[in-house]
A and B are shown apart, each in its own frame.
Chain A
């Protein structure tokens, strides 16, 4: 197709704009998981160890659980080049998103009818570029965002391996890598590989078996890091955290949760306000996409080459399995692989609708639909989400940092009882010396680094700032600034300890989130 490369370039530019525009400020603030990746990347570059002093961890211990390693290792370069900023840590996810747009284009080129493959590939790339789920998660430091890209790359390589076996070992390597990117891919990969070999066994003649064995060996090798810590409890810690709380009727719970990921109401309509979902008033896909979705299913057999349709069906069945193992009712982040696959059907539907309608009308409708959808996303994400979810990203603590500059001569205590990420946030954004932080955090470890028991709350001391659960017996000293939320420093407590109001910090909705008080040096009730 003429100009397909130019059109692809334009689509990637659109994708880049949607992902990088105001990346450091929307979401407003930085989530604890983000700063954890950020600080560990910073610490790794400076010392070769994470914030606990562990050399090149297999999993990164963090806030009561563990983070898969690939994102953190990839974040070392942008954090080094661009500094300890919110933008730098999110850029890995954003770049992964651009990668997914390109990979989707390449996958579509392979799986669709060769007569229409360029048009379908471009539409597929565009769907990924503008879909709410893709933009939303690419703008977060989301391991799942990286996971789906690496997994999609492995799928592309597996598709290529059906024609050229030399790709098979490479596909297995990338598949193995995906298990280090996000939790979902750990389960999906192990299920997918043997099923793929079985379903496509006719492609793998005796002459090719050595390549299959090589691929399997490479995949097995990539599992070695997991196996090294398997008995420690660290590998399954996350599943314990988020798994089904009730052990009764596990099978029926699994089936129910599995089915939920296929419900069109969750895919195309407002999924609600929980953190793992999309921005307000927005579904995983735009509501309008429900029409091409069903149209795409209708024409799947006609336009998707039979062997690849088989592959897609296998993947669609497998990819929600890991999400269905958890206790949450609908958590798109854990099913991004499925959501990505469904985009191919949506693209097919769009293509068919354009073919049915008169050319100019079809393109006009598509143009209007895309513009309307992007406008709806802009309102949902860059307006409502920015303000209404800022509290979830600790935005008030970013503002607090600026205020604290005026109190450099004071001892500062910040209550972290309900904001476990406060200390690390300050450490990351202020480039606190990793060697000092390693000493602090290592001394607080109450279990081996890899363990099933991981503490959520830790105390931090960064220069003159202590971030820890507030204790009035230790906080009440001279020349001290105490910062906390409305629960930690109530009006009654402020009066009881004769505190002097210093400042308040509002969140983006205008509600007071943090209050700061100075201890009264002249008062007997709160000075020693």
Chain B
């Protein structure tokens, strides 16, 4: 268990994203570390001194804490409103919809759906994209100076291997948690320094698993 802890710790410390999170809120980092560690334990099939039910409760509490924090700090205020540029675009598109869709658009529900609902849904879906954006996690700089990537690129092969292991071990509970992560992230502005915070534990634990698998380590 000590070595599991150390591995996860090293991975988090080598990530620039961790330091940004740490500087914003240390408790958020601790919760993310806990989630990463517990996810890793699950993947590695290791056992801790605490019973599984307690671990699950701890996991859920940490997850809810992170989600609530993200919603408070990073809620996408543009989700249900439109910027000036978007308003111009919506206005232009009214004519296109009217020409092509006819009465399907030109009614109360059609106009509401295309002018209000669809733009919000598209933004929601685009927010989710950040969870699976390899560019954003490993290739593109983030934060104020845009110089560092969230994770160093040499972690990527480990993450890929770890992800395969993650997928092979996935169960119903994991699917529920991942669904929760995706659905929640849709409401968040992921372009700030915190980014798609909820994917952090999955990425870190996958990197850890990939490391173990690649070097055939036994912990």
Contact = CB atoms under 8 A, between A and B. Distances in A.
A75 to B, nearest CB: 29
A379 B168 CA distance: 37
B97 A383 contact: yes
Contacts, number: 63
A293 B1 CA distance: 33
Contacts of B128: 269, 287
B125 A265 contact: no
A265 B132 contact: yes
Nearest to B179: A291
A417 interface: no
B65 to A, nearest CB: 26
A387 B134 contact: no
Interface string A131-161: 0000000000000000000000000000000
B135 interface: yes
Interface string B34-54: 000000000000000000000
B79 interface: no
B30 interface: no
A509 interface: yes
B96 A259 contact: no
B87 interface: no
B93 A384 contact: yes
Interface in A304-331: none
A492 B168 CA distance: 69
Given A269-B128, A509-B92, A281 B135 contact: no
A409 interface: no
A235 B65 CA distance: 58
Interface in A204-263: 255-256, 259-260, 262-263
Interface string A503-515: 0000011100000
A250 B100 CA distance: 46
B209 to A, nearest CB: 15
Q: Which of B125, B153, B164, B170 has the most CB of A within 10 A?
A: B125
Nearest to B138: A259
Interface string B142-185: 00000000000100100000001001101000000000000000
Interface residues of B, number: 27
Contacts of B167: 294, 297-298
B170 A298 contact: yes
A386 interface: yes
Interface in A259-309: 259-260, 262-266, 268-270, 281, 287, 290, 294, 297-298
A255 B156 CA distance: 12
A269 B182 CA distance: 14
Interface string B171-214: 00000000000000000000000000000000000000000000
B132 A263 contact: yes
B97 A259 contact: no
A382 interface: yes
Contacts of A281: 122
A268 B128 CA distance: 10
A321 B126 CA distance: 27
Interface string B67-93: 000000000000000000000000011
Interface residues of A, number: 28
Secondary structure dominating the interface of B: helix
B134 A382 contact: no
B139 interface: yes
A381 to B, nearest CB: 11
Given A263-B135, A298-B168, A510-B95, A270 B129 contact: yes
A253 B135 CA distance: 13
Contacts of A255: 153
A375 to B, nearest CB: 10
Given A259-B156, A260-B139, A287-B125, A384 B96 contact: yes
Secondary structure dominating the interface of A: helix
A508 B92 CA distance: 11
Contacts of B168: 298
B164 A269 contact: no
B159 to A, nearest CB: 11
Contacts of A260: 134-135, 139
Contacts of A388: 96
Nearest to A261: B134
Contacts of B93: 384
B132 A290 contact: yes
Contacts of A379: 118
Given A298-B167, A383-B96, A265 B101 contact: no
Contacts of B170: 298
Contacts of B126: 269-270
A12 B113 CA distance: 32
A256 B139 contact: yes
B130 interface: yes
A268 B131 CA distance: 12
Contacts of A384: 93, 96
A51 B72 CA distance: 64
A387 B130 CA distance: 29
Given A262-B134, A263-B134, A269 B129 contact: yes
A508 B138 CA distance: 40
A508 B156 CA distance: 45
Given A281-B122, A298-B167, A265 B92 contact: no
A523 to B, nearest CB: 38
B129 A387 contact: no
Contacts of B153: 255
Interface of B: 92-93, 95-97, 100-101, 118, 122, 125-126, 128-130, 132-136, 138-139, 153, 156, 164, 167-168, 170
20 contacts: A255-B153, A259-B134, A259-B135, A260-B139, A262-B134, A265-B135, A269-B128, A269-B132, A270-B125, A287-B125, A287-B128, A290-B132, A294-B167, A297-B164, A298-B170, A382-B100, A383-B96, A383-B97, A386-B100, A508-B96
Given A259-B139, A270-B122, A383-B101, 6 more contacts: A268-B129, A268-B132, A269-B132, A287-B128, A383-B100, A388-B96
Chain A to chain B: the 8 pairs with minimum beta-carbon distance, closest first: A269-B129, A264-B132, A265-B133, A263-B134, A298-B167, A265-B129, A387-B96, A383-B100
